[in-house]
């Protein structure tokens, strides 16, 4: 088997394993939402209902993440020349938005309960909270692998980790309520959960928008990269430079490279050396390099793209 086909097979196997883990997490989470909603209503616990609501958004998040992985595996074609890599970013954007909305809903309900704290069944709160902590921990572990380099998976993982911490908080609140009857602890834990959810959601939302706006990857030092390119033998200058991300881990670059008036084969060697530097040092997997002679150069490192307006003369 050739190296490229072997690499493709390995990536395909990893994607299949990830989708299976997501499907298992989705099933476990959906089943537990039903249990937790029933317990929250019966025990009159906002903390449990809050966690159930967050778990429900987890079901949506996991379902969308699973679907995005399936779609992203489809090949590029004439209508989608870059393929479907951005689907995962759109899902991350949706997931982060649902997290923000649920956090705002938590704050509203918690405020009402601060004004008039209801009685809470602490035994039920502790029991269901402990079970939720176990299930959420397992589902988060199933999704964690690969989330460090995939914004789509990380948005789902943060949904689940929010539940792990919130259920731990619910258990602690239940134990304290059992000994003190401080029922106001239930909405207090909900507020803390809400702030944690909001903090995580903002990070995902910010990075999703950053990628969708085709901003330069934050981890790339542009000045350092330009100097690395200029150090490549045969490169006389760089202009019209663009660097962006298709998703969190897949980066692309386009640039005009100024070289001497040399043969095509010599120019191809310069392109190859540039690609090696960009891949090795900056993890840029797709670079489009336009070679130009010195007389073709302009003085704009980052070119300004303007919309072209077509006018038609009526005769």
Fold of domain 3-212:
Alpha-lytic protease prodomain-like (1.20.1510)
Mind giving me the DSSP string for 244-296? EESSSS-EEEEEEEEE-S--HHHHHHHHHHHHHHHHHHH-EEEEEEEEEEGGG
pLDDT of the residue at 102: 79
**Which class is domain 222-296?**
alpha beta
Position 194 scores a pLDDT of: 83
pLDDT for 8 equals 43
Query: Could you report the average pLDDT of every consecutive run of 10 residues in the chain (315 residues)?
Result: 43 64 82 80 72 75 80 80 82 85 83 75 75 82 75 77 75 80 78 82 88 88 93 92 86 92 91 95 92 69 55 45
List, in order, residues 6 or more apart from 246 with CB less than 8 Å away. 82, 83, 85, 86, 252, 286
pTM: 0.69
The pLDDT, as a whole number, for residue 306 is 53
Cβ-based neighbour number of residue 54 at 10 Å: 28
Domain parsing of the chain, residue ranges: 3-212, 222-296
pLDDT score of 3: 44
């Amino acid at each position: 088997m050739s190296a490229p086909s072997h690499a493709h097979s390995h990536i395909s196997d990893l994607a299949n394993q990830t989708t299976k883990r997501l499907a298992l997490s989705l099933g476990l989470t959906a089943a537990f939402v039903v249990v937790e909603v029933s317990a929250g209503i019966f025990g009159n616990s906002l903390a449990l209902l809050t966690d159930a609501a967050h778990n429900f958004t987890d079901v949506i998040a996991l379902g969308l993440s699973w679907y995005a992985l399936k779609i992203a595996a489809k090949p590029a074609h004439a209508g989608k020349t870059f393929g479907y890599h951005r689907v995962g970013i759109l899902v991350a954007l949706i997931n982060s938005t649902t997290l923000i909305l649920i956090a705002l809903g938590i704050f509203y309900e918690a405020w009402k309960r601060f004004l008039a704290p209801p009685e809470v069944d602490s035994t039920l709160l502790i029991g269901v909270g402990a079970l939720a902590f176990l299930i959420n921990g397992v589902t988060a572990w199933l999704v964690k692998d690969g989330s460090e380099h995939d914004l789509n998976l990380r948005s789902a993982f943060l949904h689940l980790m929010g539940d792990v911490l919130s259920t731990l908080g619910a258990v602690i609140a239940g134990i304290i309520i059992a000994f003190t009857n401080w029922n106001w602890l239930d909405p207090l834990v909900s507020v803390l959960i809400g702030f944690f959810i909001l903090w995580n959601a903002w990070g995902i939302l910010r990075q999703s928008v950053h990628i969708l706006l085709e901003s330069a990857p934050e981890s790339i030092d542009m000045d350092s990269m330009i100097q690395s390119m200029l150090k490549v033998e045969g490169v006389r200058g760089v202009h019209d430079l663009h660097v962006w991300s298709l998703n969190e881990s897949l980066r692309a670059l386009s640039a005009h490279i100024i070289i001497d008036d040399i043969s095509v084969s010599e120019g191809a060697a310069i392109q190859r050396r540039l690609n090696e530097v960009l891949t090795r040092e900056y993890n840029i997997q797709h670079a489009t390099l336009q070679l130009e002679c010195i007389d073709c150069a302009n003085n704009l490192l980052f070119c300004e793209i303007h919309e072209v307006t077509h006018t038609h003369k009526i005769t």
